[in-house]
Amino acid sequence: MSGRDPAGMLKPVSMPGPACKEVNGLDPYHFLALMGKRVLHPGGGYTTSEICRLAGFSDGAEVIDIGCGVGSTAIQIASRFGCRVTALDIDERMINSARSNVHAAGLVKTISLKQGDMQSLPYADNSFDVVTIEAVTMFTPDRPRAVGEALRVCKPGGRVLDHELVWLEPGHDEVRRLFYEEICAGAVFGSQDNWIQLYRSTGPHVIDHVSAPFDMFTLRGLLRDEGLAGLFRMTAKCMSRWCYIRNMIGLMHRLHKFIPYLGTVVISVTKERT
């Protein structure tokens, strides 16, 4: 990234228009969920496909999707692979959206929804064959505890698959500060190696990883993840209020400046058989 000017990213985007209580203070992913976006993780559908490939789901397997958002990945795993899925999220609004999506998909008997915190999962040890996590661990204040919980509820020989954002190169502290401050309050992450080391510290498990671009906001990524009809629906929702348009333009404008600095990773952990 040499030659880039992180200081140039300092300028906040200021858009004219009235404030809107409904979107003020919303995290970007909550705002995007409100706009009808279904895929809320940075690697988009590509990294979900990688998770599905690495998971080796079998019919009837018990799966937990931690930080399920609006339930899109849980629905995909249940409908494509015949797994029984627990979809857990800390946020009541997300669980409510996931509930209506699960209902619309006709999967109420296969997917159970639960409000809960990744750092303290309300399940016994060794409960699930596969644990999926997409862009959630980076929001947990106690990271070792969060990944420890993911490993604890996974059966020996089972898999934990975690997809997270990474900084592509060290340095540029100002860029990082701005990203956390202006884009994603509460999120903190490091390099790909930091994520791998975090999982290595959980025990002598077999660890693999796949790197992927941060392309959830490219046109290709948006079309792949939401489809043309989904994009039209999101645009229509966005156009329905000035403060939505204003928020969306501000978010996109700010985000695009960070894209060259960001990548994503899927970490695959096969839990040691004891």
Ligand X SMILES: C[S@@+](CC[C@H](N)C(=O)[O-])C[C@H]1O[C@@H](n2cnc3c(N)ncnc32)[C@H](O)[C@@H]1O
d(CA 138, CA 259): 17
> Given the complex with ligand X, which of 9 and 133 has the nearer CB atom?
133
> Given the complex with ligand X, which of 137 and 192 has the nearer CB atom?
137
> Given the complex with ligand X, which of 134 and 226 has the nearer CB atom?
134
Size of the site for ligand X (CB under 6 A): 21
Q: Which residue is nearest to ligand X (CB)?
A: 69
Q: Show Cβ contacts of residue 50 under 8 Å, excluding neighbours closer than 6 positions.
A: 43, 163, 210, 212, 266
Q: Residues 69, 158, 221, 263: which binds ligand X (CB under 6 A)? A: 69
> Given the complex with ligand X, which of 173 and 252 has the nearer CB atom?
252
Say whether 14 sits in a helix, a strand or coil: coil
Contact status: 150 vs ligand X (CB under 6 A) = no
**8 A C-beta contact, residue 212 and residue 263:** yes
Contact status: 158 vs ligand X (CB under 6 A) = no
Q: Closest distance between ligand X and the C-beta of residue 7, in Å?
A: 28
Contact status: 188 vs ligand X (CB under 6 A) = no
Beta strands in the chain (DSSP E): 62-66, 84-89, 111-115, 128-134, 154-167, 206-213, 262-270
Contact status: 145 vs ligand X (CB under 6 A) = no
Count of beta carbons in the 10 Å neighbourhood of residue 64: 28
d(CA 207, CA 13): 41
Q: How many helices (H) and strands (E) does the chain have?
A: 9, 7
Contact status: 221 vs ligand X (CB under 6 A) = no
Contact status: 67 vs ligand X (CB under 6 A) = yes
The size of the chain, in residues, is 274
> Given the complex with ligand X, which of 94 and 147 has the nearer CB atom?
94
Q: Residues 40, 78, 234, 269: which binds ligand X (CB under 6 A)? A: 40
d(CA 24, CA 28): 10
Instruction: Tell me the residue type at 193.
Output: D
Contact status: 44 vs ligand X (CB under 6 A) = no
Residues 84-143 that bind ligand X (CB under 6 A): 89-91, 94, 117-119, 134-136, 139-140
**What residue ranges bind ligand X (CB under 6 A)?**
29, 39-41, 66-69, 72, 89-91, 94, 117-119, 134-136, 139-140
